[in-house]
């Protein structure tokens, strides 16, 4: 076919609203052009139930197309205002059930009337001319659903700005709109839906897991979701997890940014194409199950999203310490020497890890009897625990097929493995031939839990690292004869080259418990293993579990932390780690980090030094390296060791702050590491910042990411910012880029005015740091009062902040009064726990005072038993740094579990 005729047909079909696809003809080798579908029309629409919050519609196919298989003739659409800020849109085959993620697999609240919606044989359609639209709205809802009775049909989701009567012409720009986009296509193994976007004013974030050069999704990208054992050093390829969620942050006419979120809740493989003017989903199974989250702030979007899929799991306090791992530690002697070397170098180390080296024949739940003998390992772990340190080991899901291997024997007896052709499916991973536990099978929970409990009785490890759970397979199985599961008609862009979905994984035609195919459940494997492992650790330890999983899915944050996988020791991978970590914060997995100094390849001194300067402020901070690469523990180079002592020293001082952010994430879903626009959505310049991030709302990390850099360009949102390494160094900004000298031994970590940080002292372990006095850093604002809080518990109790738990929450406030007075006060909830630990505030440092303000006097009161006690004998000092004065009040010995009030009077 000539190129001119080819272009003419493409334009002609597109003008008819057809979805244009190019198919390579098997016989002629020529391109043939076929529409994938023509869409549907509304046959009936009406209210569902009596709540006024749900509607349903019957959709009839306009015209058949054979591309990617036969069309489904009738569809049932249900829209429901599940909460005042969450809308669900559900489209399915009206006559036949299809795969959907069961609620027992991914629990989520439902307040809609029901999903057993109207069947097409229910009440007769109303007489008279059909309406142009059907609108679903509710007085308490901020979202409106509009069904357009066009040919083909379309729908819009709109933010409602007022409670006045609604008409279509008065509604604002849609958050989601299939109008003016390609029509809906719905086939047995192919669904396509497209939503148009307003030009230039939108910014999309999310849709993972991919390594990207930018946090913001760039135009003309196809993001594929199909869990794959693909090294994260590869750009723009589908990686270990699938998160079909995005946040859309829009620049409004009034200059403010408003955010909303969208998730297509499907475990089927998909391509999501973003062309700049629209988002198009192409999914190879299941149903349309869209949720829209109204926001309108970025924080509220994530709160609404995690309310649906599950709040992030709380992790133990020790998990915020520094972690060391390497694939290739030869024996327990070498691991012991690494721990000793960290102590000798005076570098903090909380957790030592073992990769697969510890196993006997690389089999789970075993110890190498020569290099990691049981008695030596038991003494090693006992000594770690005596020193306040922890031990984490790796587990892979593949169970070695070995008739003498007890875990295999018990798995066969319990019949818990994934099957194909009626027998356990045989894959190949590290130990050789393996069977894979079927984590959908209820029996596997007991099997997996019992294996973990049994092994922990021998070796009391503290956490579990679950790897290779995409599922990874070193073999690629041939497609089953005549199977469209192993070879679906639409080829998602797997591996960036539309490679078969069976490549290096369990084949799609394999079967799980309940006749669920791997085709449908593939992306759930890592999520389900994390859930089972989380439960097993609770059973084994009775404490708050720590699980680190490579493969993740929607809702995985409820059970596991994550690291970004097999990166490389390159400057590019150093920079890419920031967008990856910020993305997982959006996905509801706030405990996330990248392998510091790089996993694959050989690092060098400068790169490793710069990487620990950044990695010290990842929520999860672990140094890890691949077998055969250069050793890069932090003590290997003196400049790296010196920098590590400095940056990890600050991290350990900030442990109470980081742990309090974990509590906030667990309670509300807010990420720990956040993009700048979370705190500054009105500043549209923050939408494109990929090389900086916030910890919480007011601590900004600005690393040096270039080799040989003598300066660094950072963006500074409006306000006064104080350097946490040097309080005398400040940056004042109205919202503009700033060029700073690049220190050799640290990044920039600034705290913004209006914040109060509760910090403790430096130490080599979190256990030791928790025993040091508190120091309050109060950063006054010129136009806002300052506040902060610290959450306190024992760091390991199962529930964080529960009504039965032992915990305290101390809130701090600082008010600047016109009468030359600053009042710093606290309000403590459940103070008894903090009092029982005898934690004290020893010092308060006040930053941000105007130059020349000197302390004239003070009044300190501690609220004890409903009364007040005056405190005397404090020491105050003032130091002038440029335009600001710093005041330090020491000798407090104030119990943090008691309310206090400190009045500072200035001349």
- Among this protein's residues, is 32 annotated catalytic? no
Structure token digits, residue 474? 């070193």
Do you find a cis peptide bond into 296, omega within 30 degrees of 0? yes
Q: Is 733 in contact with 753 (CB distance < 8 Å)?
A: no
11-19 contacts, C-beta under 8 A, 24 or more apart: 17/152, 17/182, 17/183, 18/182, 19/182, 19/183, 19/185, 19/192
Inter-CA distances, 416 with 423, 531, 563, 677, 804, Å? 11, 16, 28, 46, 37
- The alpha-helical segments, DSSP class H, found in 187-329 are 298-309
- Among this protein's residues, is 470 annotated catalytic? yes
Distance (Å, rounded) from C-alpha 383 to C-alpha 394? 20
Distance (Å, rounded) from C-alpha 849 to C-alpha 596? 38
Helix (H, G, I), strand (E, B) or coil at 434: strand
- Exposure b/e, 828-862, CB count within 10 A at least 16 = b: bebbebbeebebbbbbbbbbbbeeebebeebebbb
Residue 224, CB-side half-sphere exposure with 13 Å CA sphere: 22
The catalytic position among 229, 307, 566, 762 is 566
Burial class of residue 219, CB neighbours in 10 A (0-12, 13-18, 19+)? exposed
Helix (H, G, I), strand (E, B) or coil at 533: helix
- Among this protein's residues, is 467 annotated catalytic? yes
**Strand ranges inside 396-470, DSSP E:** 399-400, 419-420, 423-424, 427-429, 432-435, 463-466
Q: Is 555 in contact with 534 (CB distance < 8 Å)?
A: no
The catalytic position among 251, 294, 396, 467 is 467
- Exposure b/e, 317-332, CB count within 10 A at least 16 = b: bbbbbbbbbbbebebb
Beta strand 511-512 with 463-466: parallel, antiparallel or unpaired?
Answer: unpaired
Distance (Å, rounded) from C-alpha 508 to C-alpha 492? 14
Q: Is 530 in contact with 312 (CB distance < 8 Å)?
A: no
| Packing angle, helices 571-586 and 605-615, rounded to 10 | 20
Structure token digits, residue 4? 């001119």
Which one-letter DSSP state was computed for residue 558? Answer: G
Task: Choose among 31, 43, 38, 30: nearest CA to 13.
Answer: 38
Distance (Å, rounded) from C-alpha 305 to C-alpha 85? 10
Structure token digits, residue 347? 């570098």
- Whole-number CA gyration radius for the chain: 29
The catalytic position among 350, 451, 470, 529 is 470
Strand arrangement, sheet containing 821-829: 786-792, 808-817, 821-829, 900-906, 855-864, 867-871
- Which phi-psi region, left, alpha or beta, contains residue 85 (left: φ > 0; alpha: ψ -120 to 50)? alpha
Q: Is 588 in contact with 669 (CB distance < 8 Å)?
A: yes
Q: Is 679 in contact with 702 (CB distance < 8 Å)?
A: no
Q: Which residues pair with 20 in a beta bridge?
A: 35
What is the phi/psi pair of residue 75, to 5°? -120, 150
Distance (Å, rounded) from C-alpha 610 to C-alpha 632? 13
Residues designated as active site = 467, 470, 566
């Amino acid at each position: 076919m000539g190129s001119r005729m080819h272009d003419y047909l493409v334009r002609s079909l597109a003008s008819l609203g057809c979805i244009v696809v190019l198919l390579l003809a098997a016989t002629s080798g020529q391109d043939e052009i076929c529409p994938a579908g023509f869409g549907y029309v509304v046959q009936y629409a009406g209210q569902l139930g009596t709540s006024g919050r749900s509607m349903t519609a019957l959709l009839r196919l306009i015209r058949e197309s054979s591309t990617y298989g036969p069309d489904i003739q009738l569809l049932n659409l249900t829209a429901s205002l599940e909460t005042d800020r969450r809308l669900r849109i559900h489209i399915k085959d009206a006559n036949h059930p299809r795969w959907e993620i069961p609620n027992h697999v991914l629990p989520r609240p439902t307040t809609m009337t029901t999903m057993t919606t109207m069947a097409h044989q229910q009440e007769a359609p109303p007489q008279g001319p059909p309406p142009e639209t059907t609108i679903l709205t509710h007085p308490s809802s901020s979202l409106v659903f509009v069904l357009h009775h066009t040919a083909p049909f379309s729908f819009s989701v709109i933010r409602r700005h007022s409670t006045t009567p609604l008409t279509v012409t008065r509604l604002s720009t849609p958050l989601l709109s299939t109008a003016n986009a390609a029509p809906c296509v719905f086939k047995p193994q192919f669904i396509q839906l497209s939503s148009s976007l307003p030009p230039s004013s939108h910014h999309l974030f999310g849709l993972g897991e991919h390594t990207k050069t930018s946090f913001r999704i760039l135009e003309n990208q196809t993001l594929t979701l199909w869990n794959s054992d693909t090294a994260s050093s590869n750009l723009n390829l589908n990686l270990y997890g699938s998160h079909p969620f995005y946040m859309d942050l829009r620049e409004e006419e009034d200059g403010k940014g408003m955010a909303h979120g969208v998730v297509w809740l499907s475990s089927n493989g998909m391509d999501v194409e973003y062309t700049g003017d629209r988002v198009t989903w192409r999914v190879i199974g299941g149903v349309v199950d869209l949720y829209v989250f109204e926001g309108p702030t970025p924080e509220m979007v994530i709160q609404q999203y995690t309310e649906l899929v599950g709040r992030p799991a709380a992790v133990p306090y020790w998990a915020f310490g520094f972690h060391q791992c390497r694939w290739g530690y030869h024996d327990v002697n070498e691991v012991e020497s690494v721990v000793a070397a960290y102590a000798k170098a005076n570098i903090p180390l909380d957790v030592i890890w073992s990769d697969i080296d510890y196993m006997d024949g690389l089999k789970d739940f075993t110890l190498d009897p020569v290099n990691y003998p049981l008695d030596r390992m038991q003494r090693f772990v006992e000594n770690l625990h005596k020193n306040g340190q922890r031990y984490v080991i790796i587990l892979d899901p593949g169970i070695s097929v070995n008739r003498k291997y007890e875990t295999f024997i018990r798995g066969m007896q319990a019949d818990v493995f994934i099957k194909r052709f009626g027998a356990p499916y045989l894959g190949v991973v590290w130990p050789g031939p393996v069977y894979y536990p079927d984590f959908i099978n209820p029996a596997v929970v007991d099997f997996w839990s019992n294996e973990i409990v049994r092994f922990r009785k021998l070796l009391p490890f503290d956490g579990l690292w679950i790897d290779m759970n995409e599922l990874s397979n070193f073999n690629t199985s041939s497609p089953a004869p005549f199977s469209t599961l192993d070879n679906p008609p639409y080829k998602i862009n797997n591996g960036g080259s539309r490679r078969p979905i069976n490549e290096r994984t369990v084949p799609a035609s394999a079967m799980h418990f309940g006749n669920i195919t791997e085709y449908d459940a593939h992306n759930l494997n890592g999520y389900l293993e994390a859930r089972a492992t989380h439960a097993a650790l609770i059973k084994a330890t009775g404490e708050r579990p720590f699980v680190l999983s490579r493969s993740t899915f929607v809702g995985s944050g409820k059970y596991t932390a994550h690291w970004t996988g097999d990166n490389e020791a390159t400057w590019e991978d150093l920079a890419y780690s920031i967008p990856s970590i910020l993305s997982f914060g959006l996905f509801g997995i706030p405990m996330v980090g990248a392998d510091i100094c790089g996993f694959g390849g050989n690092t060098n001194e400068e790169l490793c030094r710069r990487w620990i300067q950044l990695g010290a402020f990842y929520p999860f901070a672990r140094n890890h390296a691949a077998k055969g690469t250069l050793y890069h523990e932090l003590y290997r180079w003196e400049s790296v060791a010196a920098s590590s002592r400095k940056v990890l020293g600050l991290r350990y001082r900030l442990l109470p702050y980081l742990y309090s952010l974990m509590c906030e994430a667990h309670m509300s879903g807010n990420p720990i590491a956040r993009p700048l626009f979370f705190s500054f959505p009105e500043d549209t310049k923050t939408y494109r910042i990929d090389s900086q991030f916030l910890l919480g709302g007011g601590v900004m990390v600005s690393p040096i990411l270039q080799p040989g850099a003598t300066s660094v360009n950072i963006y500074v949102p409006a306000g006064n910012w104080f350097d946490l390494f040097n309080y005398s160094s400040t940056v004042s900004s109205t919202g503009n880029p700033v060029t700073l000298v690049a220190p050799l031994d640290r990044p920039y970590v600034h705290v913004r005015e209006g914040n109060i940080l509760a910090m403790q002292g430096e130490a080599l372990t979190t256990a030791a740091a928790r025993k040091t006095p508190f120091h309050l850093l109060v950063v006054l604002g010129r136009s806002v009062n300052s506040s902060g809080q610290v959450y306190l518990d024992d760091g390991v109790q199962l529930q964080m902040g529960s009504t039965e738990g032992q915990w305290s929450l101390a809130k701090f406030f600082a008010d600047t009064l016109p009468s030359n007075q600053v009042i710093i006060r606290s309000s403590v909830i459940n103070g008894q726990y903090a009092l029982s630990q005898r934690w004290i505030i020893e010092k308060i440092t006040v930053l941000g005072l105007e130059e020349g303000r000197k302390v004239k006097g003070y009044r300190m009161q501690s609220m004890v038993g409903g009364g007040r006690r005056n405190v005397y004998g404090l020491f105050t000092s003032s130091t002038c740094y440029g335009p600001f004065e710093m005041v330090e009040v020491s000798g407090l010995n104030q119990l943090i579990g008691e309310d206090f009030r400190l009045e500072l009077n200035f001349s």
